[in-house]
Structure 1
């Protein structure tokens, strides 16, 4: 199991190969963001609602403002320390972006690009191998199954693998590959037998949920006792996000909660899951090193309280040992009631 095998920073030529697809996606996302904002950059009337902390329900009025972007106010809860967007797009606006829009089309085009797809398939094999090290193979549900990389890897490893995906074009792509995927937004009506799972995968899903605890409570109904939940979320404490702030593309509509290692573990414990494995992967070190050395050193000291003598000597292993990679990845087990 080598998480560096799917790190784009270690793949010469990868960024250049994906530049056209990435540019198209960012442009489509920018247009989607702008369509919901007024001239002052605030959400149009009726487009969003204001919430309190989704973890502990502490009032948003008592939280600290970290940054503003795209009409969102990112706050740090004074009680549980979770970073979250006070402002959330109403579900009818949000759902349309994932089902049929220029942004969803551009995202699908990126996912099926051969360069991107190959790296995602390598990551999927890594994820399934990590899961296999924890639990005997059985039934698996992938929520947000996209173009099916995880379904393919799980099926190849001997799992009975099912997927739920909101984008109908991505579901059609999976079905053309002979994968068991349905179009829907979990929790939705599942086919007969799609329950009592030994494992559930949620990669880049938890950050999208306006009420993650309610979602996880519902999810446990489809999991057997002792089942495993595999989670990937953007790491708000990553080196790159710390340096870029509101300029980073993870600060966007649809990302309503911003997790760090401690707050992800806390959220999962509150939902009845015990953490057994947690790491960061995907370093984005090439993007980090494109910045001036002084900015890299300042961010490193801010996050680790240690001086970085030579930013250009920083390695991928250094980044992950400090838990500063771009993604948090964890395996959590459902605690017996």
Structure 2
């Protein structure tokens, strides 16, 4: 099990090969975001609603502003410390954004790019190996199954795998590979004879949810006692995101909660899950080292409290030891009420 196997920073030529697809996605997303904003960069009337902290429900009026981007005010809760967008776009637009939009089409084009698909396949094998080391095999549901890399890896590892995905093109791609996936939103798209599941996979899902605790409660209801929940989310405390701030592509519409090393396990405990494995992966070291030494050193000291004497000697291992990788990855177990 080697998490460096799917780190693009360690695979020569991958960045250049993916540059056209990534650039097309960024342009499409930027255009999609700006359609909802007025000339001052604020949401158009009726396009969004305001909320309080989705973790502890403390009023947003008491939170501190972290940054502003695309009409969103990212707030840090004064009570639990979660960073979240005070504004969330309305449900109708959110559905359209994932089902039929230029951004959705550009995202799909990236997902089926052979270079990106190879990274995802390696990551899927790693994820299922990590899960298998704790849980063995059984039935697994992939929420947001995309083009099916996890479903394929799960089946190869001996699991009975099913997926639910909102993007019709991604579901069609799964079915072409003879993978079991349905088109729609969880939980309404699930077949009546599916579940309860021994494990549920939620990679890059939790950050999209306006009410993550309510969603996790429903997921728990569809799981066996002692079932396993696999979570991947962007790491708001990652070194690259800290350097780039609001320019980072994880700061975007659709990402409503921004998790860190402390707040993700805390939210999961509140939802009735205990952490069994936790790390960061995907270093983005090459993107980090594209910045000047003083920028890297300042961000490192901000995050760790330590002086980074020689930024050019920073390694992938240093990044992950400090929990500053681009993604948080955790395996959690459902506990008795």
Report the TM range for the smaller structure's normalisation: over 0.9
For the residue of structure 2 that corresponds to 1:228, the secondary structure is: strand
Match of 2:249 in 1: 249
Whether the 8 Å contact between 2:28 and 2:103 is mirrored in structure 1 is: yes
Alignment of 1:1-337 (within 5 A): 1-337=1-337
Listed one character per residue, the Cα deviations across residues 157-188 of structure 1 (whole Å, up to 9, x for unaligned) are 11000000000010001001100000011121
Listed one character per residue, the Cα deviations across residues 182-222 of structure 1 (whole Å, up to 9, x for unaligned) are 00111214113211100000000000000000000011111
For the residue of structure 2 that corresponds to 1:275, the secondary structure is: strand
Listed one character per residue, the Cα deviations across residues 58-111 of structure 1 (whole Å, up to 9, x for unaligned) are 000000000000000000000000000000000101110001111000000000
Q: TM-score, normalised by structure 2?
A: 0.99
Shift of 1:246: 0.1
Q: TM-score, normalised by structure 1?
A: 0.99
* CA distance in 1 between partners of 2:90 and 2:115 (Å): 34
* CA distance in 2 between partners of 1:189 and 1:182 (Å): 7
* CA distance in 2 between partners of 1:233 and 1:79 (Å): 22
Which runs of 5 or more residues in structure 2 are unaligned? none
Comparing 145-154 with 182-191, greater Cα deviation is found at 182-191
Shift of 1:315: 0.3
* CA distance in 2 between partners of 1:251 and 1:126 (Å): 26
Listed one character per residue, the Cα deviations across residues 132-163 of structure 1 (whole Å, up to 9, x for unaligned) are 00112000000000000000000011100000
Whether the 8 Å contact between 2:50 and 2:87 is mirrored in structure 1 is: yes
Listed one character per residue, the Cα deviations across residues 22-51 of structure 1 (whole Å, up to 9, x for unaligned) are 111001000100000000000001100000
Shift of 1:336: 1.2
Aligned length: 337
Shift of 1:261: 1.0
The root-mean-square deviation of aligned C-alpha atoms, in Å, is 0.5
Whether the 8 Å contact between 2:38 and 2:44 is mirrored in structure 1 is: yes
Whether the 8 Å contact between 2:182 and 2:189 is mirrored in structure 1 is: no
Regions of 4+ moved over 3 Å: none
Which runs of 5 or more residues in structure 1 are unaligned? none
> Structure 1 189/165 Cα, relative in aligned 2: closer, same or farther at 3 Å?
closer
* CA distance in 2 between partners of 1:96 and 1:42 (Å): 20
